[in-house]
Amino acid sequence: MPSMARNCLVVNLDRCIGCYSCEVACKMENDIAMGERWNKVLQIEPAGVFPDVQTYWLPVQCQQCEGAPCVHVCPTGASYRDEETGKVLVDKSKCIGCRYCMMACPYGVRSWNKEQKVVEKCTMCSHLTSAGEKPACVKNCCGTARFYGDLDDPNSDVSKELAKYPAESIHHLPDVGNGPISAYILSPKIAKWAGEDVHQTTSKYMTTEGSVD
Amino acid sequence: MAKTSISRRGFVKLSAFAGAAVAMASATTQNLMQVKPAMAATTGETQKIRTICRACLNNCGMVAHVRDGKVVKLEGDPQDPMNKGAACAKGLAGIQALYNPNRIKYPMKRKGERGSNEWERISWGQAMDEISEVMWEWYQKEGPKCLVTSTGGGGNPQFFSPARFLSVWGGGNFFEPGCAQCYLPRNHMEFCLNGTADTSLADGPVTEVYLPGYLPDDKCTPTKTYVMWGVGPSYHGIGSTGRVVTELRNNGMKTVVIDPRLTPDAAKADVWLPIRPGTDVALMLCWINYIIEHDLWAKDFCREWTNLPFLVHEDTRLTYRASELGLGGEDEYVVWDKKTNAAVAMPYPFPSDGSIDPEMFGTYTLPNGEKARTAFQIMKEHVAEWTLEKAAEVCWLDADKIEEAIKIYVEGCPNAGISLGVATDQTINSAQAAQGDAIMDILMGCIRQPGSIVQDRPCYVEPCNYVVQPFGLHHPDHPLRMPESEANARLGYTEHKGLGHWLASHIPTVLKAIETGEPYRPRIWIERSGNKLVMIGNAKRLYDAMMTTELNVHMYMHWTTTSVCLADYVLPTAEWLETAYAQDRLNTYAIRRPCTQLYEAVDECMHWSWLAAALAKRGHQRCIDSFNPDIAGKFYGTYWKTYEEYKDYVGYFVGSFYYDREDWNWEKFDAQAPSEYQTIEEYAAKSYNSHLFPDNDDPSKPAGFHTTSKRCEPYFDGNILLGNTGAIDGTGSMEPATDVFPKSNNYNPLPYYLEPYESPVEGDPGYDANYPYTLTQGRLPVFHHGTLRNTPYTRELYPYPETWINPETAKEIGVEDGDWLWLESKRGKTQGKARITKSVAPKVIYQERFWFPELLDSKDPNRAWQAMNINLLTQNSDDCPFNDVYGTYVLRGVQINIKKADSAPEGIWTEPEQFTAWMPQESENTGGGNAVYGA
């Protein structure tokens, strides 16, 4: 798949101000049912000795894994990687509602659509991005913290934003062999990245709670 | 025109939940009679309408996608110079607010007992006729004092509509729960001291921070240090303020955040000072002391452009005028000259030839033998006790961190500044905090400098920037201005004269008047805002008082506890997506365009117009005159018979004030808005060192500052004159304020610290071991004040208020994360839900105001405002003292205790699916009440 684009979202947590605009923008744009979220903002609880504590807000959505477990486990091919854009998507017409993919996803970012009895997830607003617009969460973000584009294109918004930061400030959600490509920027002066210790952070975002019926 | 169906799933999906909707239907949700559609087109095309939001008071640029007369999508306007495409959760929730099943759709009249929640639909004509009849009856019997009007400051674009109505009515009282508790102390006092502007980021005057990236780089000095004192831009005007502070912070601006709560801005600050709620002035006095002690103040600026070298009369505490000592004129002050070692007159402006070199500090003997200190000497002595260590002890802070914060601030000066937020407005020291904030920036010369927070870019029409204004606000001789005798009789105004700046009355005194009939009894309450029972301190007192009135009318968009529990009539009011308005956005002027009109909702300006028309019909002469252009005048406009007339006034106002065009109407405004009314270079330059610009009246002199002395007045003796006469220059005609706390005949020229009346400090007179914890409150990013508790996507994010408790304190109380709680103060009790977090200090408790729309249709609707409302605990009672200048009652820093509760309040919704019942509902486009009623 080397020729395939690597489109994803990059979130700059130095700039994320925990306002939840991206959650609501996503839900409005995609008409997501109550109780379901394709994009969720989690606060990493303040750590340290008061008042010397650090906290940050972590928006989590599909991480566009290179070896996407949701695609591997799907028995019908409903979960697939789009050849042109490289995006991990769901073809709802093929989804039989077995929800294996929801269990396979390490980040709990797939949602069950009760009405249609299919699995859904962040499409990076494919209906907008295919028309040259940015995803709703990126457009409306109040911290200008969210970026969309192709990691392989040095002129994309994601590449340009990542290029501004040293390696120590660039992070990924814990990789259990799935190869998440969505990246997070968090500078040490703002807070220590809490994602490396999988056990410590499991309860914070490595969960499917709230997503499985 | 047939019902338009919307392709968006939220609307189609409604049918799937029809069962749920029917199940909760009751008096407040039925009555869906159809009226004649007037506005909807059915072409299927999507129009993109540029408009401005009003989910809070920031007015961010928005693009509304409108199809077949329905708003189907909102997004931030990328062309807006302040929010640049950003839109927050509150703004994006606008569609769910607009099409909410809880909208008040038609005028309604109470059928059963007050509070029984039984209603009948009536016509606009009947509503206006019956309400005005009661008003006219009491007016004839008791005069204009029988009426109280009120609004909410945060969201209402027509903030001054109730006061405008009172000016026509000829008297009576106006209040809003912000005002003395939100923004008035800063808006008034900071301007009095710095003669320039207040420092509120949320309310608009702090525009300097928006210039980097907009003003060409070679003309721009970005702010170097920003001190956010009780300011949380990430949580208030998020698309504009949160965005811009993030931008500057990421580009190297240093920040200090003073806030009991670890907000996102606190988390990202260079220094966070988690101050004990209610002790801000103690910390300010420490900063001032440090700046003086370490000789950090701006020497030239303070000598030439402040009243700090002026000599002060020891008894009156007023600065001497040269004429008093036979040294010069009445408009000259007195300083001690180093060269001649004598008292001399200080003319205006400061002599540039070096002929006078005033002593800044010291005590001197005047020609008449009296001893006098300089204002700066008095200030120095006044703050001397406030060492870093003392402030650390009082404010529960670390002395080294305080020092680090001061140094970061000082390093950035004068391209720096302090914004003061709402927090201090909600303490007994509200006026003093505003004084303290202004003094610090004055001492450091952070006034009208590039990058400084205080800038001279005033709205053309103060106070604030509201198009619709009370008659005669700026014209004392206007025939429809409220008569002076009536204005001076406003309740609580004599004691708390700062209220006059917003034409407001003192809420506790209004309630006392209703309770006791002294000095007179208000009979009728007309209220336009969401939920006074949740927004006013000591809410039970408001409820008890308002249950005894003769008539209560509620104007709002959604059913709330005010309408259900207290109103006799409810009048449907338009959502922001249905209204027309105008707002400056930096150097541009933006427009709020009506995107649709639902049910019989009407912009509030028409409610008041129609009431005036109904009273005119009965013979109320001032109401008759308010429709006469020769009397009302073009500046204020007449009252409006139609919404088109109103819109044309808005167009005229903007054209004449901002574009020098006398011929604008709505059509002409609409044709070009939003647009620049001056270039960004002009906009920026009009403030920098503008005190040096030629004076308008006498171009041979510099313009100076907008104060009595034309200098900044950090020693604010005008405060004494305000208290004694009602005017800061001593020209007012009012009786002196005498019954103020602490007992004094005067307001104080310098800020002083009062320990909170209810104190957590053992040994303090206000200490009570039964109430060991200090409660504070503060904004959430998904609600504005009492709004949006019934929009599904915001309520899903925050279904009930969290009670933040430090782990140490949680252990002491014996509660765990997720426990339901009882919080209790001397005034009442309510529930909370524990979140154990190091986001607050030990002993400090944070919870935000809340109410539950789902309980309005329960057996006891009063539980909707009582179940989890911290304003049942806050002050607003006669036994607790008020701020002297503004009459502020205390909302932050009250003492409580906490116990574990057995369960959640009965009947509240906590699961996301429950809110599905409030998803957008099919609705008719009718043209609003404008289409069915014309006065």
Mean pLDDT of B320-331: 96
Torsions phi, psi of B528, nearest 5?
Answer: -125, 90
Distance from CA of B58 to the nearest CA of A (A): 13
Contacts of B18 (CB under 8 A, 6+ apart): none
Residues A169-195 as b or e (16 or more Cβ within 10 Å = b): bebbbbeeebebbbbbbbbeebbebbb
Joined tokens for residue B80? 């807006």
Chain A residues touching B79 at Cβ < 8 A: none
Lowest mean pLDDT among B43-47, B505-509, B530-534, B853-857: B43-47
Question: From A144, which residue of chain B is nearest by alpha-carbon distance?
Answer: B243
Is residue B639 scored above 80 in pLDDT?
A: yes
Residue bearing tokens 């309630």: B511
Q: Can you read off the two tokens belonging to residue B741?
A: 């706390």
Mean pLDDT, range B888-902, rounded to an integer: 98
Contact predicate B729/B409, CB 8 Å: no
Contact B89 A46 (CB under 8 A): no
Which of A16-30, A116-130, B35-49, B347-361 shows the lowest mean pLDDT across its residues? B35-49
Distance CA B232, CA B538 (A): 25
Helix axes B388-395, B280-293, angle to 10 degrees: 170
Among B702, B715, B717, B721, which residue's Cα sits nearest to residue B306? B715
Considering only CB atoms, A55 lies closest to which of B8, B267, B781, namely B267
Q: How many percent of chain B have pLDDT more than 90? A: 89
Look at B73 and A29 and tell me if their CB atoms are within 8 Å. yes
* 3 state DSSP class of B809: helix
Cβ neighbour number for residue B841 with a 10 Å cutoff = 23
DSSP-assigned beta bridge partners for residue B845: B775
3 state SS of B591: strand
Reading the block at residue B655, the tokens are: 């054209």
Q: Output phi, psi for B188, to 5 deg.
A: -85, -55
* Pairwise pLDDT comparison (B287 vs B57), residue with the higher score: B287
How does the average pLDDT of chain A come out, rounded? 90
Contact B564, B855 (CB under 8 A): no
Is the model's pLDDT at B10 over the cut of 60?
no
**What does each C-alpha distance from B494 to B279, B513, B737, B819, B880 come to in angstroms?**
27, 14, 6, 47, 19
User: CB B264 to CB A145 under 8 A?
Assistant: no
Cβ(B358)–Cβ(B346) below 8 Å: yes
| Through-space distance between the first and last CA atoms of chain B, rounded to whole angstroms | 26
Contact B596, B98 (CB under 8 A): yes
The full length of chain A comes to 213
Q: Do A190 and B247 touch (CB under 8 A)?
A: no
Q: Where are the alpha helices (DSSP H) in B270-355?
A: 280-293, 299-305
Contacts (Cβ under 8 Å, ≥6 apart) of B924: B3, B34, B35, B37, B40, B598, B599
For range A144-156, the mean pLDDT: 98
Residue of A nearest to B836 (CA): A45
**For residues B410-434, average pLDDT:** 98
Confidence band of B722 (pLDDT split at 50, 70, 90): very high
Which residue in B239, B841, B914 is closest to A51 by CB distance? B841
Confidence grade of residue B42 (pLDDT, cut at 50, 70, 90): low
pLDDT at B453 over 50: yes
CB contact under 8 A, B86 and A56: no
**Nearest-CB residue to A19 (from B16, B89, B792):** B89
How far apart are the CA of A57 and the nearest CA of chain B, in angstroms?
A: 8
Whether residue B458 has pLDDT greater than 90: no
pLDDT of residue B464: 55
Q: pTM for this structure?
A: 0.95
User: Which region holds residue A156: left if phi is over 0, alpha if psi is between -120 and 50, else beta?
Assistant: beta
Considering only CB atoms, A31 lies closest to which of B10, B398, B841, namely B10
Contacts of B260 in chain A (CB under 8 A): none
Q: ∠ CA B266-B271-B277 to the nearest 5 degrees?
A: 60
Q: Which residues of B touch A55 (CB under 8 A)?
A: 262, 267, 839
Q: Which residues of B touch A25 (CB under 8 A)?
A: 75, 87, 92
Kindly report the CA angle at B597 between B591 and B601, in degrees rounded to 5? 105
CB-nearest partner of A140 from B9, B92, B914: B92
Compute and round to an integer the Cα radius of gyration of chain A.
17
Contact (Cβ atoms closer than 8 angstroms) between residue B435 and residue B193:
yes
Which residues from B are below 8 Å from A46, CB to CB?
262, 267, 837-839
d(CA B184, CA B202): 13
Q: pLDDT band at B923, cuts 50/70/90? A: confident
Please give the C-alpha separations between residue B157 and each of A122, B478, B480, B575, in angstroms, as whole numbers. 37, 24, 22, 11
- pLDDT tens readout for residues B478-501: 999 999 999 999 999 999 999 999
| B771 backbone dihedrals φ, ψ, rounded to 5° | -130, 80
pLDDT on residue B746? 82
8 Å CB contact of B267 and A139: no
Q: Where residue B29 falls among pLDDT bands split at 50, 70, 90?
A: very low
Sign of the torsion formed by the C-alpha atoms of B702, B707, B711 and B712: negative
**With bands split at pLDDT 50, 70 and 90, how would you rate the model's confidence at A213?**
very low
Per DSSP (E only), the strands in B135-224 are: 147-151, 173-175
Show which residues on chain A lie within 8 Å of chain B, measured between beta carbons. 14-21, 23-25, 27-29, 31, 33-35, 45-48, 50-51, 53-57, 115, 136, 139-145, 190-191
Closest partner CB to B87 (pick from A23, A53, A140): A140
> Are the C-beta atoms of residues B85 and B97 closer than 8 Å to each other?
no
| Predicted pLDDT of residue A211 | 35
Q: Which residues 6+ apart lie within 8 Å of B522 measured at CB? A: B145, B146, B147, B148, B172, B173, B491, B510, B513, B514, B549
| Cβ atoms of B102 and B558 closer than 8 Å | yes
Q: Is the dihedral of CA A194, A197, A198, A203 positive or negative?
A: negative
Nearest residue to B479 via CA among B627, B649, B625: B625
Sign of CA dihedral B286, B292, B298, B300: positive
CB contacts of A52 in chain B (<8 Å) are none
Which one has a higher pLDDT value, B453 or B39?
A: B453
Which residue among B13, B76, B272 sits closest to A140, beta carbon to beta carbon? B76
Give the whole-angstrom CA distance, residue B338 versus residue B623: 62
Label residue B503 left, alpha or beta by phi (over 0 means left) and psi (-120 to 50 means alpha).
left
User: Helices B604-617 and B161-169 sit at what angle, rounded to 10 degrees?
Assistant: 10
Encode pLDDT of A151-204 as tens digits: 999 999 999 999 999 999 999 999 989 999 999 999 999 999 987 654 444 344
Distance CA B64, CA B50 (A): 6
Query: How does the average pLDDT of chain B come out, rounded?
Result: 93
DSSP letter string over A64-110? --TT-HHHHH-SSS-EEE-TTT--EEE-TTT--S--HHHHH-TT---
Minimal CA separation from B411 to chain A, in Å: 20
Angstrom CA distances, A70 to A61, A101, B512, stand at 14, 4, 66
Mutation site, A15, A17, A53, A157, interface B, largest B CB count within 10 A? A17
Longest CA pairwise span in chain A (Å): 53
Question: With bands split at pLDDT 50, 70 and 90, how would you rate the model's confidence at B423?
Answer: very high
Closest chain B C-alpha to A105 CA, distance in angstroms: 23
Q: Which member of B92, B246, B841 has the closest CB to residue A21?
A: B92
Each residue of B863-883: pLDDT tens digit? 999 999 999 999 999 889 999
Residues 6+ apart with CB under 8 A from B296: B290, B410, B443, B444
Task: Tell me if A55 and B88 make a contact (CB, 8 A cut-off).
Answer: no
B363 touches B377 (CB < 8 A): yes
The structure tokens listed for B804 are 């933040």
Q: Which of A13, A24, A39, A141 should one mutate to test binding to chain B, selecting the residue with the greatest count of B CBs within 10 A?
A: A24
| pLDDT at site B43 | 65
CA atoms of A22 and A11, how far apart (whole Å): 11
